[in-house]
Amino acid sequence: MRRRTKHDSRLLIVGATSKLAQETARLYAPGSRLFLVGRDGERLAAVGSDLEARGCRVAAFQLDMNRTEDCKAMVMAAAEFLVEIDVALLAHGVLPDQSQCESSPELVREVLEINTVSTLCLLVPLAAHFERQGHGCIAVLGSVAGDRGRRSNYTYGASKAAVAVYLQGLRSRLFASGVSVVTIKPGPVDTPMTAHMDKTPLFASPRRVARSIQRAISRRRAVAYAPGYWRGIMWVIRLVPERVLRHLSL
Amino acid sequence: MTSKGRWRDRYASWGRFPVANPADVIPVVWRSGVLPLGKLERPVLPYGRGRSYGDSCLNNGGHLLDTAGLDRFIAFDRERGLLTCEAGVTLEQILDLVVPEGWFLPVTPGTKHVSVGGAIAHDVHGKNHHVRGTFGCYVRSFELLRSDGSRWLCSPAENADFYRATIGGMGLTGLILWAEVDLRPIDGPLIDTERIRFDSLEEFFELSAGSDQSHEYTVAWVDSAAKGKKLGRGHFIRGNHAPGESPQRGRRKTRPRLTVPFDAPTWLLSRFTVQLLNGAYYRFQPRKRVRRVTSYETFFYPLDFLSDWNRLYGKRGFLQFQCVVPNEVGEAAVAELLGVAARSGRASFLTVLKVFGEAESPGLISFPKPGVTLALDFPFDGRPTLELFAEMERVVREVDGTVYPAKDACMTGESFRVFFPRWKEFSRYVDPAFSSSFWDRVSLESDAT
């Protein structure tokens, strides 16, 4: 099997204060240049100094992802600091409680704003930049939840499914200019975001998922599951007929 | 959740005895964040990696602050060997970062899976105590978050009283958010190791005295199955940092090679198998003296290669007894403790002996002091085990020794106050919202005295 792996060292990371983004960024240390984007300045500084201590050159950019008008300026600042962007990793997002989503339209809107709208809006200037640049990789964290609507998390799943479909189209558009688009679908991860869930054996450590993310990026996969065994699980879940699935509380 | 408690297995102590059910677990992820510590109805305790053997990391019925998310470095000065990091960073993460740059921890315990916060809170020691003292000696400063929301920068110069109370303070004085730690230079990741078989305690003390000057690291394993004339035989292990690179496997990953995937049946480490294994291990080295150069991991962390090894003791868990006894009575007291253990019909799986040095720790109630330290492991068998521990505790009290709280699940409040005469001074610095199962146990009757 032919495996071309790329050694990326200039990364733009959006949602850099998320646990998965932090663990992934650490895998690129030392010696990388990292442009970190996040909403909370103090947290961003904490993540930045950690990566600096590990031997990276770091710049931080504070941005509320809902302010789509600021995204273009952010991409320009990243391009200025990194010179060439090898990888743009989009790792921001929220995981809402499904039962709350069932009674609060405001929460549904919020989830879709941050997980879907802000991601797609950011991809407009980002895709344009990569198209001009003519190489590199846009990697976006989706979720296994986006593969099939399930009772336990369909609001979150819907917000991620939209992104996955968008990326399919973007992938063919950017293919011509030599830019890869990688959709990464992590399963449940043992992070602060899931601290109060009961942990099943399917929960993976952030470190392990980060390794899968890095591998997917360096091999320029189109769609990657993290860890890889989720490909098999979701293949089965997608095959379950609706009239069976509606009886299950998955 | 089930009646056994949602957090019980995930937030256990290393010995898995006693069993405790925290009411809730609060993950601490950002050092800048605000924690509602003052508003909690129950006492709270920081929880790092759960490597304390007894109940000093447990808080039955209370809240735990899980510091695993505080895992960031803050600064690493590669020229001066100075590391600042958050309290949940483990020694493993530190070594992975600093060893390739020619630095090492000045003091390391027998596992690298402990957090910096836990290492400070128990003022841990290592095989080089006789030359370097405890971990706390190398902590330049740290930030302490109290339940009233105040943050204290503690160092020997600033808030020195809180600095001294927190080092060895078992997490009771507040939450350590980050710390600044001195490193020491090394020429490479290797240790020049020598293993010498000894046949008696007398020989051990000769070897130890003879190695104090020449070797930075000394420790001994004792064959706990040996009785009578053979009592106190074992292997003396000593080493020094050696120059050179790791032989060919430059980037060997330090992950465990083996895992214990489930609780072993209790007969696995019964008295007979333990005696058998100890005797076999003693004979495993037929030659008197073996010298070789090993990686630092093999030398310092032999048990880390078997992850979750505490499961070998099965569901019942195990207890460790570690004490220090004064040098003048060292040999007699160690012989008596080994004798008490042997007579009880219980066999210790792993018995470790070391002579501490004179270096004084900044900690107010730190465990290490000049003398001989002995550590024994026993599977928990109910009352007979507790009786054995009470007997050993009595021996230690008679000779003016001290039992190590980080390993303890049994000592009485009265013994604690005898072992740590400065406990009253210490208790003034305990945060009113903080407590632990250990502290509940040893301080409850404190007003009676």
What is the arithmetic mean of pLDDT over A206-224? 97
Instruction: Read off the pLDDT of residues B20-41 as tens digits, 9 standing for 90 and up.
Output: 999 999 999 999 988 889 899 9
Q: What number is the average pLDDT over the span A143-150?
A: 96
pLDDT of residue B445: 61
Q: Which of B4, B29, B63 to probe the A interface (max A CBs under 10 A)? A: B29
pLDDT of residue B254: 52
Give the residue carrying structure tokens 């890889």.
A228
pLDDT class of B247 with cuts at 50, 70, 90:
low
Question: Is the Cβ pair A195, B73 closer than 8 Å?
Answer: no
Compute the 3-state secondary structure of chain B and give helix, strand, coil in percent, each to the nearest 5: 30, 25, 45
User: Is residue A124 predicted with pLDDT exceeding 50?
Assistant: yes
Tell me the per-residue pLDDT of B390-412, one tens digit each, with 9 for 90 and over.
999 999 999 999 999 999 999 99
**What does residue B430 show for φ and ψ, rounded to 5 degrees?**
-65, 130
pLDDT of B156 higher than 90: yes
For residue B260, the model assigns a pLDDT of 87
Q: Is B27 on the interface with A (CB under 8 A)?
A: yes
Whether residue A19 and residue B10 make contact (CB cut-off 8 A), yes or no, is no
Minimum distance, in Å, between the CA of residue A30 and any CA atom of chain B: 10
DSSP label at residue A114: I
Indicate whether this model's pTM tops 0.90.
yes
Å between B71 CA and nearest CA of chain A: 9
Residue B1 has what pLDDT?
37
pLDDT tens digits for B359-392?
A: 999 999 999 999 999 999 999 989 999 999 999 9
Q: How many whole angstroms from its chain centre is CA B300? A: 13
Two tokens at B318?
């195990």
The interface residues of chain B toward chain A in range 90-109, judged by CB-CB distance below 8 A, are 97
Count CB neighbours of B420 within 10 A: 20
The terminus-to-terminus CA distance of chain B in angstroms comes to: 41
pLDDT tens, position by position, B82-110: 999 999 999 999 999 999 999 999 999 99
Provide the pLDDT for residue B119: 98
∠A168-A174-A178 over CA atoms, to 5°?
130
Residue A4 confidence class, pLDDT cut points 50, 70, 90: low
Report CB contact under 8 Å: A50, B73. Answer: yes
Smallest Cα distance from A56 to chain B, Å: 12
φ and ψ at B425, to 5 degrees?
Answer: -60, -45
Residue B363, token pair as written in the block: 């900690």
CA distance B85 to chain A (A): 8
CA–CA separation, B440 vs B58, rounded Å?
Answer: 10
Contact B1 A49 (CB under 8 A): no
Helical H segments across chain A, by residue range: 19-28, 41-53, 71-82, 98-101, 105-112, 118-133, 154-175, 206-218, 230-239, 242-245
Q: Residue A1: which pLDDT band, with cuts at 50, 70 and 90?
A: very low
Among B24, B71, B116, B183, which would you mutate to test the A interface (most chain A Cβ atoms within 10 Å of its Cβ)?
B71
Structure confidence by residue, pLDDT tens digits, A25-46: 999 999 999 999 999 999 999 9
Residue B251 has pLDDT above 70, yes or no: no
- Rounded distance, CA A89 to CA A223, Å? 14
Residues of A with CB under 8 A from a CB of B: 19, 22, 42-43, 46-47, 49-50, 52-54, 192, 195, 198-199
Residue B314 is predicted with a pLDDT of: 87
Token match 């600064």: residue?
Answer: B75
* CA-based nearest residue in chain A for residue B89: A50
- Chain A residues closer than 8 Å to B29 by CB: 192
Residues of A in contact with B75 (CB under 8 A): 49, 52-53
pLDDT at B250: 46
Q: Does B257 touch chain A (CB under 8 A)?
A: no
Element (H, E) at B355: strand B352-356
B97 to chain A: nearest residue by CA? Answer: A54
Q: Band of the pLDDT at B274, cuts 50, 70, 90?
A: confident
Q: CB-CB: which of A19, A43, A199 is closest to B32?
A: A43
Please say whether the beta carbons of B148 and B38 come within 8 A.
yes
Q: Is the pLDDT of residue B291 over 90?
A: yes
The three-point CA angle A121-A126-A129 to 5° equals 145
Q: How would you class B9 by CB atoms within 10 Å of its CB: exposed for 0-12, middle for 13-18, buried for 19 or more?
A: exposed
Q: Cα separation of A50 and B94, whole Å?
A: 12
* Structural tokens at position B297: 């991991």
* Distance from C-alpha of B346 to C-alpha of B334, rounded to nearest angstrom: 16
Contacts of A46 in chain B (CB under 8 A): 30-32, 72, 74, 86
Distance between CA atoms of B226 and B224, rounded to whole angstroms? 5
Instruction: State the pLDDT at residue B10.
Output: 84
The pLDDT value given to residue B345? 84
Smallest CA–CA distance from B9 into chain A, residue: A199
Question: Number of Cβ pairs closer than 8 Å across A and B?
Answer: 40
For residue B214, which of B293, B130, B298, B297 has the smallest C-alpha distance?
A: B130
| Cis previous bond, A227, omega within 30 | yes
Determine the average pLDDT of the residues in B54-73: 96
CB contact under 8 A, A43 and B30: yes
CB–CB contact B32 A46 (8 Å): yes
The pLDDT, as a whole number, for residue B305 is 87
> Interface pTM (ipTM) of the complex?
0.93
What's the count of helices (H) and strands (E) in chain B, helices before strands?
A: 12, 20
For residue B307, give the H/E element and its range: strand B306-307
Whether the predicted pLDDT of A144 surpasses 60:
yes
